[in-house]
Amino acid sequence: MEKRQKIHEGKAKAVYSTDDPDRLIIDFTDTATAFDGAKRGTIHEKGRLNNLISALFFEKLAEAGIPTHYRGTLSDREMLVVPVEIVMVEMVVRNIATGSLCRRLPFIDGTELEPPLVELFYKDDSLGDPLINDDHALLMGLASREELAEMKRLSLAINDALRPYLMDAGIVLVDFKLEFGRYQGGLVLADEISPDTCRFWDASTKEKMDKDRFRKDMGKIEEAYQEIYQRLTRLKGD
């Protein structure tokens, strides 16, 4: 697989074309951002760990029948994917109330949500990725009613697959952000699933094991990412 021209660069990843028109390469970097890019920094080995962690999750989801853009891992920092048209609606699944949900609504931090809550956000950094509903998405032409329903269905199916898997590793899946893309007439999970896009808590201590440590200047950021990867690889070995 020949890596060719850079066709897109985001806040923490770059996308390259290849000699195959139906394959792209995502290159994960160590750049870290928060608060819509207002805070920037570097987390040592983040790119490598996010790539490898995401690969483990994508492989687990494939076993559960979830379609994704993932087609393999080329190196510690490079992922092979199919090209998709990203739907500009981010899906956030919440199992426990924390973060912005507790700032917007009278939920007590740490409250378990049953059933899990699914929220929609308009993918636009210039607007701060605002919270929207189905009607907003339809009026803006971001997705069809059928696509929104399928994205919600897939989001909950992903939650059902990953929660017990992570609990086996002693990790609570608190909440997470998903992006979907259109590919060959259907929807597939795109982007990544990692400590950058999820909130993970240690099941015993409730210690944060994700990018909240960077957002809140808590320290031991690299160690948290490394711990997630080590637990998942140990689980795979078992």
CA distance 66 to 187: 10
Q: Which residues contact 171 (CB under 8 A, 6 or more apart)?
A: 200, 201, 202, 203, 209, 228, 231
Each residue's pLDDT tens digit, 208-221: 999 999 999 999 99
CA distance 41 to 221: 12
Given a cut of 90, whether residue 163 has pLDDT beyond it is: yes
- DSSP-based three-state secondary structure for 66: coil
Q: Which CATH number fits domain 86-220: 3.40.50.720, 2.40.160.10, 3.30.470.20, 1.25.60.10?
A: 3.30.470.20
As a whole-number percent, the residues of the chain with pLDDT over 70 amount to 100
Cα–Cα separations (whole angstroms), residue 175 to 42, 81, 171: 23, 24, 12
Determine which of 3-17, 32-46, 175-189, 195-209 has the lowest per-residue pLDDT on average: 32-46
Domain ranges of the chain: 3-81, 86-220
- Are the CB atoms for 123 and 88 separated by under 8 Å? yes
CB atoms under 10 Å from CB of 96, counted, come to 21
What's the pTM? 0.96
Q: Which residues contact 106 (CB under 8 A, 6 or more apart)?
A: none
Which one is predicted more confidently, 36 or 48?
A: 48
What class does CATH assign to 3-81? Answer: alpha beta
> What are the structure tokens assigned to 179, written together?
């992006």
The pLDDT, as a whole number, for residue 214 is: 97
Each residue's pLDDT tens digit, 120-150: 999 999 999 999 999 999 999 999 999 999 9
CA distance 93 to 117: 6
